[in-house]
Amino acid sequence: MMRLIEKGLMYGNLFHVNGQAMADRYNRALKHLTGKETALTDFHVDISGYAPEVGEELGDHLYLNPKGCNRQFILLSTEQRTAPLLEAKFSTSRGILRQFIDANEAQLFALTARDAVAGELVNSVYSVTKPAHLFDIRKIRVEADTTSGVVADAGKLDGMIAEFRERDDAWWDDVLIADMIKLAHKTGDVTRVPIKLGHAEYEQGNFWTAHFGGLYAFRDVEKPAVISMSEDDLGNLPVGQGGAAIGASERTKIAKFLNDNELVEPIVKARGVDAVAILRQKLDFIVVDVAATMEADLSQVRRTDLRSLARRYSDLLPPEFHTLGKLLRWAEGGGAWPRISSNDPAYFYTLRAKPHPDRDLVNMLLAELAPLDVRQLFICHKELFYARYRGWPDQKKTFVADFLAREYMVDKAGAREALFGSGDAPMEEPLQPEEPRDVVARVGPWGAVRRTR
């Protein structure tokens, strides 16, 4: 994994904790939350305050995420908001932390100037021992305070001030006045600089979880479903009215779910994308996968070299390559329109999420269903990318690390927009009354569509 770390593809953009003073603040929060401490004074933390180095030291990489259910966090600086979330168990956790930090930036900036802020993403479930327990999680409440309890003390002081102002005899209440002065020494003047953390409750609608082999729960769509990446029996799941539990091997059911809820669109029909360039790159990744297993030299390989490798290993190329090749020939204007069913191994390689609130979640699912597209896998599902990277041949590891560092890291925002569309795109584009309903919506992406000239 050192290739990825050296190129900033793993553990990148973490917040650097350096020095005894900051390490002491971290330790106070760590002991407050877990009862543990670290002897390290130089390490790196993610948006939640988790440090891989501390995880190694403690022998527990879930030291801030017990049982993978209620994520705890340590904020040393508001700069942590741009960091990734490592060891993620729910796809919603980073977004909730980011929203919480953004909504309380001024307060957190002031609080972390003096102390660490420790907290937890709290839900009504404390242990996920059964898949059905996941569906009891609807709201996530953020509870946070400094290790010295400044936020709680400020709340008490606010109450005392209100009582002092409302009671006619408060001027003669020496105990109340003494308590107010004592708390004010800790909190400062809360009448001029209020200390209160707001926006502390968030909805968890559609989400991915790493539990039980990986589950995608779509509850807030017209036709709900749970898609399981494991073939294990999950029992009865409270998916919702008319909902379905779908296994990873049930490709037709997955395709129908995505189309029925209008969550995806074919790359070749998406607006504002270079479909030809995207398809060519997908083909290159497939060639690299085959060539690496044959121990071919992939150092400093160019597209012309990849074409030569494709010819050399043509008998070994998987069905995905041949189907995508037909689609590329059509997109370039020189081939017939390919009919691609959901049973075709290339089917999910041809799709991307439509613009809607769960676009990232759908692209994450598509990345898992199209694992040879290593760029999409890295962008949309890093945990799975790292897991699969460990098992790749050395030649493929080198090629992929070099490619991502060269083609993606230099302009991450531009690459994401080119592949998946602008994040500012409207979430819904209703048809005009006089326009007929799009044929893609009626018959699916690869129905009776014909290329027009």
Based on the fold, state whether residues 384 and 272 are members of the same structural domain: yes
In this prediction, residues 253-266 reach a mean pLDDT of 95
At residue 328, the pLDDT reads: 93
Residue 429, pLDDT score: 33
Stronger pLDDT, 62 or 204, i.e. the higher one: 62
Mean pLDDT of all residues in 399-420 = 88
In the prediction, which pLDDT does 430 show? 32
Q: Which of 166, 183, 204 is the last residue of a domain?
A: 204
Per the structure, the complete domain to which residue 117 belongs is given by 2-149+196-204
In this structure, what token pair is assigned to residue 79?
């700069």
What Cα–Cα distance (Å) separates residue 417 from each residue in 165, 321, 324, 411? 55, 25, 22, 10
Dump pLDDT digits (tens) for 130-139.
Answer: 888 888 888 8
What pLDDT was estimated at residue 367?
A: 96
Are 200 and 271 part of one and the same domain?
Answer: no
Same structural domain for residues 200 and 294?
no
* Residue range 20-57, pLDDT digits in tens: 999 999 999 999 999 999 999 999 999 999 999 999 99
How is residue 346 annotated by DSSP? Answer: T
For residues 200 and 286, state if they share a domain. no
pLDDT of residue 444 exceeding 50: no
Using the predicted structure, report yes or no on whether residue 450 has a pLDDT greater than 70. no
Specify if 77 maps to a domain. Answer: yes
The residue assigned the tokens 């017939």 is 336
The mean pLDDT value for 408-426 works out to 75
Residues 200 and 291 in one domain: no
- Residue predicted with more confidence, 308 or 242: 308
Does 386 score more than 90 pLDDT? yes
Residues 126 and 269 grouped into a single domain: no
68 located within any domain: yes
- Asked if residue 248 belongs to a domain, the reply is no
pLDDT for the residue 445: 41
Same-domain pairing of 301 and 383: yes
pLDDT score for 401 = 93
pLDDT tens digits along 338-373: 899 999 999 999 999 999 999 999 999 999 999 999
**Residues 245, 236: Cα–Cα separation, whole Å:** 9
The token pair that represents 3 in the structure block: 């290739």
Question: Is the pLDDT score of 426 beyond 70?
Answer: no
pLDDT given for residue 431 in this prediction = 32
pLDDT surpasses 70 at 112 = yes
In a domain, 164, yes or no: no
Please tell me whether residues 303 and 422 are part of one structural domain: yes
Query: The whole model's pTM is what?
Result: 0.82
Residue among 377, 396, 376 nearest 386 (CA) = 377
Q: What percent of the chain has pLDDT over 90?
A: 52
Total number of domains in the chain:
2
Distance of CA 104 to the CA centre of its chain: 21
Question: In this structure, is residue 279 part of a structural domain?
Answer: yes
Residue 12's pLDDT is what? 86
Q: How far is CA 212 from the centre of its chain?
A: 18
Shared domain check, 281 and 200: no
pLDDT class of 189 with cuts at 50, 70, 90: low
> For position 180, what pLDDT does the model report?
67
Report residue 159 as tokens.
């109450």
The whole-number pLDDT of residue 428 equals 35
User: Stretch 103-117: mean pLDDT, rounded?
Assistant: 85
Amino acid at 311: R
Q: Which residues pair with 208 in a beta bridge?
A: 216
Are 140 and 285 members of one domain?
no
* Residues 200 and 308 occupy one common structural domain: no
For residue 88, tell me if it sits in a domain. yes
More confident: 408 or 124: 408
**More confident: 271 or 32:** 32
Asked if 148 and 195 touch (Cβ cutoff 8 Å), the reply is: no
Computed over every residue of the chain, the mean pLDDT equals 84
Q: Is there a domain that residue 220 lies in? A: no
Q: Indicate whether 55 and 144 sit together in one domain.
A: yes
Name the pLDDT band for 300 (thresholds 50, 70, 90): confident
Q: Which of 230-234, 384-388, 438-442 has the lowest mean pLDDT?
A: 438-442
Residue 400 lies in a domain: yes
The last residue of a domain, from among 204, 220, 238 = 204
More confident call, 175 vs 293: 293
Report the pLDDT value the prediction gives residue 56, as an integer from 0 to 100: 95
3-class secondary structure, 16 = strand
pLDDT of 407: 86
**DSSP for 135-169, written as a single string:** GG--EEEEEEEETT-HHHHHHHHHHHHHHHHH-TT
